Homo-oligomer: A and B are copies of this chain.
Amino acid sequence: MPIEDKQKPQRNDRVTIRTVATHAGVSVAAVSKVMRNAYGVSDALRARVTDAIEVLAYRPSRAARGLRGRSFTIGVLLIDIRNPFLPEVIAGVNGVLAPSHYQAMIGVSDARVQLETSLIESMIDYKMDGLILVAPRLPSEILAKFAVQIPIVAVGYHDAGATAFDTVNTDDQRGAEIAVEALLACGYRDIEMLSLGEREGHAVSVVRQREIGFRRAMQRSGLGSSAVIGKIPIASPKREEAMRKFLSRKDRPHAVFCWSDLDAIILLSLAMEMGVRVPEDLAVIGYDNSSTAALGLVNLASIDQSGRELGQVATRALISRIEGRTSAEHILQTPSLVSRNSLIRSGNGTDK
């Protein structure tokens, strides 16, 4: 009688690659080969293994996969889940990923550098196959350091000089120019930009890019000297306070370009409260063309950058990088204007 009878296959109830192998009467390696559809599998073998997988409803353990090879998961890092622009990006990512065998896991950093770092590290520690970082706060050098360990695509991060990772953006400078051009076309000359407070957003952030575009467009029209950029704090209630101050200024301009719909919509609300008519007293144009902007009640003109498309493009870039590309790619989409009543009172408006 053999002492070595420690062959107790059913100790646990989890179906592993070993269960499949036994059931199909083949080796573990064979099953693995079929899974990865590697070279050297006969049709007969493949069929048997596929059947066994089907019957047992086998799912490979992502944890184990991660330990050895790929985990078939890509991590998405969001700076802030509240911005209605971001869900669009996610939708784009999921759309591209759906037919593939990859899946997305999302982390939310709440714009804290600390948390952002630790989430990126976690995703690396999970052996995820690649990362899409949306509007990250970390400086380029740090990202480059991470990019050595894992393929990275940054979205909403203007660093065309990066060699270690890819970037996908809409041309925010151009977007701001379009906004200014639209205001100019309506006849406004005194145009101000409401931007984000100094401490938010670094040099490569979308905000600063939009400022550059704003300045350039104003300059180009000979209005360079009056190209004022107001800085609005990001958090309540200081934000509202700053906007109220702006609205009640004696020398308030007749047109304003807000760096984001988020701010523009609040500005619209406050304007209404304070009896400032839009667009008669003040024309407003935002950025992002969020779903709220499109509401009849709001009717905010905005610069559209398709978040969905951005997500799609970023995902495709990431996959190509995962599959071996090493040279950096820097993709720039062109934004477009969506004109609405906050810019100029249109025919189908509500002022009958």
Chain A residues engaging chain B, CB cutoff 8 angstroms: 59-64, 66-67, 71, 73, 81-82, 84, 86-87, 90-91, 94, 98, 103-108, 110, 115, 118-119, 121-122, 125-127, 265-266, 268-270, 272-273, 275, 291-292, 295-298, 350, 352
| A272 with B298: CB separation less than 8 A | no
Query: From residue A201, how far is it (CB to closest CB) to chain B in Å?
Result: 20
CA of A37 to CA of B296, assembled, Å: 59
CA of A68 to CA of B67, assembled, Å: 11
A106-B107, A106-B108 known; A71-B82 Cβ under 8 A: no
| B73 with A63: CB separation less than 8 A | no
Q: Within 8 Å CB of A118, what residues of B? A: 103
CA of A298 to CA of B298, assembled, Å: 8
A63-B126, A71-B63 known; A107-B108 Cβ under 8 A: no
**Closest B residue, CB atoms, query A352:** B275
Q: Within 8 Å CB of A295, what residues of B? A: 265-266, 269, 298
* 5 other A-B residue contacts (CB within 8 Å) besides A73-B126, A82-B84: A62-B125, A66-B66, A81-B91, A106-B108, A268-B297
CA of A87 to CA of B64, assembled, Å: 31
| A105 with B107: CB separation less than 8 A | yes
CA of A119 to CA of B270, assembled, Å: 42
Query: From residue A234, how far is it (CB to closest CB) to chain B in Å?
Result: 14
| A62 with B104: CB separation less than 8 A | no
Q: Within 8 Å CB of A297, what residues of B? A: 265, 268-269, 272, 297-298
Per a CB cutoff under 8 Å, which of B63, B86, B87, B275 touches A63? B63
**Closest B residue, CB atoms, query A349:** B273
Query: From residue A58, how far is it (CB to closest CB) to chain B in Å?
Result: 11
Per a CB cutoff under 8 Å, which of B84, B94, B119, B296 touches A108? B94
Q: Within 8 Å CB of A59, what residues of B? A: 121, 125
Q: Within 8 Å CB of A270, what residues of B? A: 296
| A105 with B105: CB separation less than 8 A | yes
**Closest B residue, CB atoms, query A125:** B62
CA of A275 to CA of B350, assembled, Å: 8
Q: Within 8 Å CB of A350, what residues of B? A: 272-273
A-B pairs, top 5 by smallest CB distance, nearest first, are A63-B66, A269-B296, A106-B106, A81-B87, A62-B125
| A90 with B94: CB separation less than 8 A | no
| B107 with A119: CB separation less than 8 A | no
